[in-house]
Amino acid sequence: MIQLYQPLSFMGLVYREIKQSAIDLEMMFDILNKNPEIEDRPGAAPLALTDTALRFENVFFHYDPRREILRGVSFEVPAGKTVALVGASGAGKSTISRLIFRFYEPSSGRITIGGQDIAGVTQASLRAAIGIVPQDTVLFNDSIAYNIFYGRDGASEDEMKAAARLAQIDHFIESAPGGYEAQVGERGLKLSGGEKQRVAIARAILKGPPILILDEATSALDSLTEREIQTALDRVARGRTTLVIAHRLSTIVNADEILVLDKGRIIERGSHAALLAQGGAYAAMWSRQNEIMQAEETLRRAALEE
Ligand code: ATP
């Protein structure tokens, strides 16, 4: 009875934890230790990290066979470079990041890292090589320190604090009652979306992965927070193979390449300047976002003058 009871209560705990904080995917699969649908192949080898270039080769994918989500997606993020993915809501951007983590497998085509098909490497080595800063970070109901240490078990206190500093969240933490030991969550410290994202950035910095996926928050942040987050993201991306899923085009003007995804297909690709000159979908998105930003600015000014 005891034997049966213990695992059940452990699962209960995990379930509660997931439910309470709707933990992001990376954590959830870490805790449960596997995605039930994806297994390591027999003889799977660890991912070798001599080359970290990430490639999609004619990838098709559907969740439901009646509806294709990705239709022949091909692109490369050269080692150490930053590629940005933009496109309307539902275009398939987050699906691409889930495939890189191998939460799902392409229905056809290949995803490779340094030429190795990720379907043939161990999931543990794949996930160890990739850091993700998710769109909506949900933290463990534990101390802030614990939430950052989650990036790399066994890191030193100094390393953890250095990561917080680089992520520009150190001042906030130090001014909170209890500092790094302050509890996060319902009955503890409540963090704003921007603060939570900076904790996620600190975690990614501590993990120090060669490959990084940044899923930009959709929610509007004030311009100071946005600048701070941008600086922190630029720091964490430097020298890493980085895929940015972007919602605000202003954050990706310096990306090495921008991919425009529409209904599961890449319809345009190039640098910011080249895409603007092309006058297509990206250029239209850019002018629309600028109009919205200008309208918001006018409203803000009017509110200040009242
Ligand atoms: P957003 O910018 O709003 O985050 P996105 O471009 O990231 O959108 P995805 O989350 O990749 O879009 O979703 C692509 C499509 O796949 C959507 O139409 C969505 O409804 C569908 N989809 C996403 N996850 C699942 C799932 N688990 N099962 C079935 N369909 C799904």
Q: Out of 64, 67, 93, give the residue to mutate to test ligand 1, the one with the largest number of ligand atoms within 8 Å of its CB.
A: 93
Q: Is the CB of 88 under 6 A from ligand 1?
A: no
On whether the CB atoms of residues 272 and 246 are closer than 8 A, the answer is no
Using CA atoms of 106, 112, 117, 121 in order, give the dihedral in degrees to the nearest 10. Answer: -100
**Which atom of ligand 1 is the closest one to the Cα of 135?**
4
With a threshold of 0.95, tell me whether the complex ipTM lies above it: yes
Task: Report the residue count for the chain.
Answer: 306
Mean pLDDT of 106-132: 95
Mean pLDDT of 299-304: 81
Asked whether the whole model's pTM tops 0.80, one would answer yes
Identify the residue whose tokens are 């799902």: 104
What is the token pair recorded at 74? 């091909």
- Going by pLDDT thresholds of 50, 70 and 90, the confidence category of residue 202 is very high
Is residue 239 classed exposed, middle or buried when 0-12, 13-18 and 19+ CB atoms within 10 A define those classes?
Answer: exposed
Q: How far is CA 263 from CA 86, 87, 230, in A?
A: 12, 9, 28
Q: How far is the C-alpha of 114 from the C-alpha of 54, rounded, in Å?
A: 7
- What's the 217 CA to ligand 1 centre distance in angstroms? 15
Identify the residue whose tokens are 């410290």: 189
Q: How far is the C-alpha of 201 from the C-alpha of 233, rounded, in Å?
A: 7
Q: How far is the C-alpha of 61 from the C-alpha of 117, rounded, in Å?
A: 16
Q: Is the CB of 10 under 6 A from ligand 1?
A: no
Q: Out of 64, 89, 94, 98, give the residue to mutate to test ligand 1, the one with the largest number of ligand atoms within 8 Å of its CB.
A: 94
pLDDT attached to residue 50 = 93
What is the token pair recorded at 9? 């209560």
- Of 134, 166, 135, 164, nearest to 231 by C-alpha is 166
- Going by pLDDT thresholds of 50, 70 and 90, the confidence category of residue 203 is very high
- Of 217, 262, 229, nearest to 85 by C-alpha is 262
- Of 130, 132, 131, 110, nearest to 119 by C-alpha is 110
- Going by pLDDT thresholds of 50, 70 and 90, the confidence category of residue 129 is very high
* pLDDT value at 285 more than 70: yes
Q: Is the CB of 95 under 6 A from ligand 1?
A: yes
| Nearest protein CA to atom 17 of ligand 1, as residue | 90
pLDDT attached to residue 28 = 55
Q: What is the pLDDT of residues 41-60, one digit of tens each?
A: 888 999 999 999 999 999 99
